Structure 1
Amino acid sequence: MGFIDQLLHTPSYGWETISGTLQQPSAGKLFNEAASRINIFKSRTNWISLLSVLMMLCLVPFLYFFLFHYFSWWYLGAMLFYSLIVMGTHGTVWYHRYCTHKSFRFSNPVTRFIMQHLVIKTLPEEIYVVSHHVHHAKSDKPGDPYNAKGGLLYCMLAEFNHQRVSETLSETDHRKASAMLNHTGVGLNSFPQYKKWGSLTSPAYTLLSTLMNWIGWYTVFYLLGGHGLACALFSGAILWMALVRAFNYTGHAHGKEKHIDGVDFDRSNLSVNQTRPGLFTGEWHNNHHLYPGSARAGFLPHQVDLAWICIYLMYKTGAVASFHDSKAAFLEKYYSRQTVK
């Protein structure tokens, strides 16, 4: 088995059947696996999965106060804009194009830190980055941690069941896995610490950075609009958490072949270019699978890419030192110049 094959913790039901097809566990097995993965009393290595649950639970009071004490249509609009546009675009820029694919480079650690904490933090970089490398290597095949063919619940619970780093990496493989995160500036475990905690990321760093992020943003939102605005925008974080976990199911066409000629050019996987994620967050997903290392994914004239606009503006202001843009390569290879005109 290669490095990528053993990078993630294999679920109890396995990735594939004896015949090599995708193992599709029942809802009961998926929930049982998730319950096992968040059981801190079973193993302290479950801390990173439990943290996700705790963050969700800690956000619920904000939602309650927003709905029953501070609700207004203005706050609702602010919540939706913050969740769908601001957090969505930030997720594409930070987690997807920078942390995972290194499609651009920050000028210094300060600008990188600001981008990292530009919104309410709800997801450890480790959970997203490592599993996403596996996703690209095994898209829509057994071993893809959020394989859309497994169904919506398979994707929604992937954070607990399929995206965790394996606890049995060798020291060499631990070093390779850590290299996937070195450029992000997150606090990483040494190999002995990894063996103790079962994660690449330091628990102390993750907990402290998340706590300070929440305190900082609640203070900012409160100063801007009081408890009502703060509760509304923290409620938006709940919506984003749900949408980002469901995205690969919709972004890979519910596990079906739904490519459209002239729109979806990559036929090596099930990814599709969707209008809402594309316009709202720059997530033109089929284009991204064609050129995962590109800082721009909106290649056609109608494909507005807010994430790319953000990266380009940071470049023009000096916050970003360099970037990789594959638009020209895409147009030359997949889209005739005459059609573009």
Structure 2
Amino acid sequence: MSFLDTVLQEPSYGWKDKEGDLIVPSSKQLFQEFFSRLNIFKSRKNWLPFFGWSRAILLASFFIVFLFEYLTWFNFIIAFVYGMIAMGTHGTIWHHRYCTHGAYTFRNKFWRFITQNLTISVIPEEIYAISHHVHHSKSDTPGDPYNAEGGFLYCFLADVNHQPIAKNLSKEDYQRVVSLMKHTGVHANTYEQYLKWGSYAHPWRSIALWLINWSFWYIVFYLIGGNSLAVTIFGAAGFWAIGVRTYNYEGHGKGKDKQKHGVDYNHKDRSINQLWPGIVAGEWHNNHHLYPKSARSGFKPLQVDLAWYYIKMMYTIGAISQYKDDKKRFYKKYYLPYLQEKKEAKQRQKLLSLKLKKVPN
């Protein structure tokens, strides 16, 4: 078996059956796995999923306070912009294009740290990055940690049930995890610490960095607009923290073939380009699956890509030293041939219409 077959902790219900088909667990099985893996009293190695969901629940509590205490039209607009655009775009910039795919390189650690902490911290880097490598390797097949064919809950609970790294990796395989993560700046556990905690990151360091991040941003927002603004923005982050867990289910057609000719060009999986995630977060998902290491995925005209605009701006000021942009490759291999195909089809239709007009009644 390859490294990507074993790097993630397999759920108790398994990835696939004896015939090699995806095991679709029941809701009961999914929730049993979920709460079992959140149980830090059962095993301290469950600390990372527990930490991730604890932060999400804390942020969700801010959202509830926002709804009952601070909901105004102005605050609603602030929450919408921060929760939908700022958080979504940052997730694409940091977790997706940098931590996972290394689509660009920072000039130094300072700019990497600034980019990492541009927004309120929500998702642990190792939960996202390692599992996302597996997702691209096994997209929409058994072993894909958020396989849309498994259903909504299969994807929604994936960060606990399917995305954590395995707890029994060999020293060699753990070093491969370290190699995939070292550019992120997240401090790595030693192999002995990994065996103790079951994770790449150390819990006390992670908790300290989380407290610093949240404290900094709450103070900044409080100084600007008091508790009203701070609670509004933290609540918006909470809305995103829950909502982002639905993304891959939607982004892969809810497990069905929803690809459109001339819109989606990668047919190796069920990824689709969607207007809303594309506009607010630069997530043109089918384009991304074509060229996962590209710092830009909004290739076509009118495909807004805010994440790419940030990366390009940082390159312009010297904060990013290099990046990869596959727009020209996309045009040459996919988009220009499609336009030519459309042009020829239109010409054929025109000729057919002329012939039909010449035929006597």
The TM-score by the shorter chain falls in which range? over 0.9
C-alpha spacing 1:60/1:288, structure 2 compared with 1 (3 Å): closer
Aligned to 1:229: 229
User: Is the 8 Å Cα contact of residues 186 and 205 (structure 1) preserved in structure 2?
Assistant: no
SS in 1 for 2:105: strand
The amino acid across from 1:236 in the alignment is: A
**Residue type of the partner of 1:294?**
S
Can you list the C-alpha shifts for 1:119-166, whole angstroms capped at 9, x where unaligned?
Answer: 000111000000000000000000000000011110000000000100
Counterparts of 1:298 and 1:177 in 2: how far apart (Å)? Answer: 30
| TM-align CA RMSD | 1.3
Correspondence for 1:32: 32
Q: Distance in 2 between matches of 1:53 and 1:327?
A: 37
Corresponding residue for residue 220 of structure 1: 220
Answer yes or no: is 1:257 the counterpart of 2:229: no
Contact 2:60 2:239 in 1 (8 A): no
Look up the SS of the partner of 1:181 in the other structure: helix
Distance (whole Å) between structure 1 residues aligned to residue 264 and residue 2 of structure 2 = 30
For residues 79-103 of structure 1, what are the alpha-carbon distances to aligned partners after superposition, in whole Å with 9 as ceiling and x for unaligned?
1110110010000000000000000
SS of the residue aligned with 2:83? helix
d(CA) in 2 for partners of 1:46 and 1:151? Answer: 24
Instruction: Report 1:294-305 matches (<5 A).
Output: 294-305=294-305
Evaluate the alpha carbon distance shift between residue 52 and residue 338 of structure 1 in structure 2; reply closer, same or farther with a 3 A threshold.
closer
Distance 1:58 1:334 in 2: 45
Q: Distance in 2 between the 1:242 and 1:219 partners?
A: 24
Deviations 1:266-313 (A, max 9, x none): 000000000000011110000000000000001101211111111000
Q: CA deviation at 1:242?
A: 1.9
CA contact (8 A) 2:62 2:238 kept: no
Q: CA, structure 1 residues 338+42, in 2 after alignment: closer, same or farther (shift >3 Å)?
A: closer
Are 2:118 and 1:95 equivalent residues in the alignment?
no
What's the counterpart of residue 307 of structure 2? 307
Q: Which amino acid aligns with 1:292?
A: P
**Superposition pairs for residues 286-301 of structure 1, below 5 Å?**
286-301=286-301
Which residues of 2 match residues 134-213 of structure 1 at below 5 A?
Answer: 134-213=134-213
Amino acid at match of 2:244: V
Kindly report structure 1 stretches of 4+ aligned residues shifted beyond 6 Å: none
Change (3 A) 1:14 1:337: closer
* Counterpart residue identity of residue 210, structure 1: W
Secondary structure in structure 2 of the residue aligned to 1:311: helix
Residue 115 of structure 1 pairs with residue 97 of structure 2:
no
CA distance in 1, matches of 2:114, 2:107: 12
Q: Quote the offset at 1:57 in angstroms.
A: 2.6
Paired letter, 2:228: G
Which deviations, in whole Å up to 9, do the C-alpha atoms of 1:219-265 show, x marking residues without a partner?
01101111001001001111111222111000001011111011100
* Identical amino acids, percent of aligned pairs: 50
- Letter of the aligned partner of 1:297 in structure 2? S
* Cα distance in 2 between the residues matched to 1:148 and 1:242: 17
Aligned to 1:319: 319
Distance 2:325 2:339 in 1: 20
The structural deviation recorded for 1:338 is: 8.9
Deviations 1:145-197, CA, capped at 9 Å, x for gaps: 00000111100000000001000100000000111110010111000000000
> Is residue 2:40 matched to residue 1:64?
no
Counterpart residue type for residue 113 of structure 1: F
**Contact preservation (8 Å) 1:127, 1:163:** yes
Q: CA 1:178 to 1:338, structure 2 compared with 1: closer, same or farther past 3 Å?
A: closer
SS in structure 2 at match of 1:321: strand
| Residues 1:47 and 2:47 are matched in the alignment | yes
In 1, the alpha carbon distance for the partners of 2:192 and 2:338 equals 58
Q: Which whole-Å CA distance do the structure 2 matches of 1:65 and 1:250 have between them?
A: 28
TM-superposed deviation, 1:323: 0.3
Asked if residue 334 in structure 1 is aligned to residue 331 in structure 2, the reply is no
Q: What SS does structure 1 have at the residue aligned with 2:321?
A: strand
Alignment of 1:73-84 (within 5 A): 73-84=73-84
User: What letter is aligned with 2:172?
Assistant: T
Closer, same or farther: CA 160–243 of 1 in aligned 2, 3 Å: same
Q: 1:237 to 1:338 in 2, by over 3 A?
A: closer
C-alpha contact (below 8 Å) 2:48/2:203 kept by paired residues: yes
The structural deviation recorded for 1:68 is: 1.9
- Matching residue's letter, 1:75: N
Counterpart Cα distance in 2 of 1:260 and 1:61? 39
Q: Within 2, Cα distance between the matches of 1:271 and 1:140? A: 9
In structure 1, what is the Cα distance between the partners aligned to 2:64 and 2:139? 38
Residue 205 of structure 1: how far off its partner (Å): 1.6
> Is the 1:187–1:206 Cα contact (8 Å) retained in structure 2?
no
For structure 1, list consecutive stretches of 5 or more residues without a partner in the other structure: none
Q: 1-side partners of 2:68 and 2:276: how far apart? A: 29
Kindly tell me: are residues 221 and 36 of structure 1, through their superposed partners in 2, closer, same or farther at Cα, counting changes over 3 Å?
A: same
